[in-house]
Amino acid sequence: MRRKKTATLLITCQDRKGLVAGISEFLFGHNANILHADQHQDGTLFLMRIEWDLEGFSLPVSEFARHFEPIARKFGMQWRISDSDSKKRMAIFVSRYDHCLVDLLYRHKSGELDCEIPLIIGNHPDTESIASFYGIPFHFVAVSPENKQEAESRQQDLLKRNGIDFVVLARYMQVLSADFVSKYKDRIINIHHSFLPAFHGAKPYHRAFERGVKLIGATAHYVTEILDEGPIIEQDVIRVSHRDAIEELIQKGRDLEKIVLSRAIRWHLENRVLVCGNKTVVFD
């Protein structure tokens, strides 16, 4: 079945009377057939996602900004528009653990993740064969305390040359610098192997095992300058018991990591996520 060509508008501004009417009237005035519309108020903040069919829409997407700007200025909106024909370009960073990488590449190949993956960057060469199997260029960039700035400079150059829109840390076991993060604000997605804010930082499975928890989790979040404190996109948990050895607990957790990370990426690709302070609003 042929997929509809759609456009999606994301809006954040202070809540005021007439907002929804103004947006709807603008779209109706250009013959838009609205497919989905959702909104949320967080205190005095108004957040909205609206998606419409581009068939019959009288305004080219390239001209949208010029015509919409008077309304956006009137209501003090922060906004962005995306159309379904414009695929986002995703880079994957990985270390030695390959379970999230393999899962993402399979989901991409099967069409579940509608994006382009121009490159994979690893700080170890272990996963190069996996990238080769899926026909994606792999770049080995070793990172150490002595060369961290140089390594990040090379990584950023690769991202720029490949026109990357956002980065996924698929169990990439390096902390990115504040400079790196600032260049991709709300565009770096990390998977952390615990139910944040519990057991942030290193070796969360081992600490959970030592604590004797009955639930373990995984958290996908946007990366900020503060480790494991970024806005959370998705989380999930699975039950464990005293019978689980640390190896079994880790295996259960890795299965969960793959699911949580893929959900977060899919929602990001579908323009369903708006950052609201240190939280997110995820429109379903």
Residue 199 domain flag = yes
Q: Which of 83, 115, 133 corresponds to the end of one domain?
A: 83
- Round to whole Å and give the CA distance between 270 and 6: 11
**End of a domain among 45, 67, 83?**
83
Residue 161's pLDDT is 98
Domain membership flag for residue 34: yes
Residues 66 and 99 in one domain: no
The residues, any chain, with a CB within 8 Å of residue 194's CB and separated by 6 or more, are 200, 204, 205, 208, 216, 217, 218, 219
- pLDDT means per 10 residues, the chain with 284 residues, are 85 96 96 96 96 96 96 97 95 98 98 97 98 98 96 98 98 96 97 93 92 96 95 97 94 97 98 96 96
Residues 133 and 64 in one domain: no
Q: Pseudo-torsion of CA 215, 221, 226, 227, nearest 10°? A: 50
CATH number at 56 reads 3.30.70.260
Do 93 and 210 fall into the same domain?
yes
What is the reported pLDDT for 65? Answer: 96
262 shares its domain with 144:
yes
* Same-domain pairing of 113 and 223: yes
Number of domains forming the structure of the chain? 2
Name every residue whose Cβ is closer than 8 Å to that of residue 139 and which is 6 or more positions away in sequence.
119, 120, 121, 122, 158
105 & 200 share domain:
yes
Q: Which domain holds residue 110?
A: 89-282
228 is catalytic: yes
Same domain, 35 and 132: no
Residues 275 and 180 in one domain: yes
What single-letter DSSP state applies at residue 191? E
Asked if 94 and 198 sit in the same domain, the reply is yes
> Are 187 and 275 in the same domain?
yes
pLDDT, position 2: 57
Residue 138 pairs in a beta bridge with: 120
User: What pLDDT score was predicted for residue 164?
Assistant: 98
Q: Which of 48, 83, 118 is the last residue of a domain?
A: 83
Catalytic residue among 42, 85, 103, 228: 228
Q: Are 124 and 229 in a shared domain?
A: yes
Are 278 and 176 part of one and the same domain?
yes
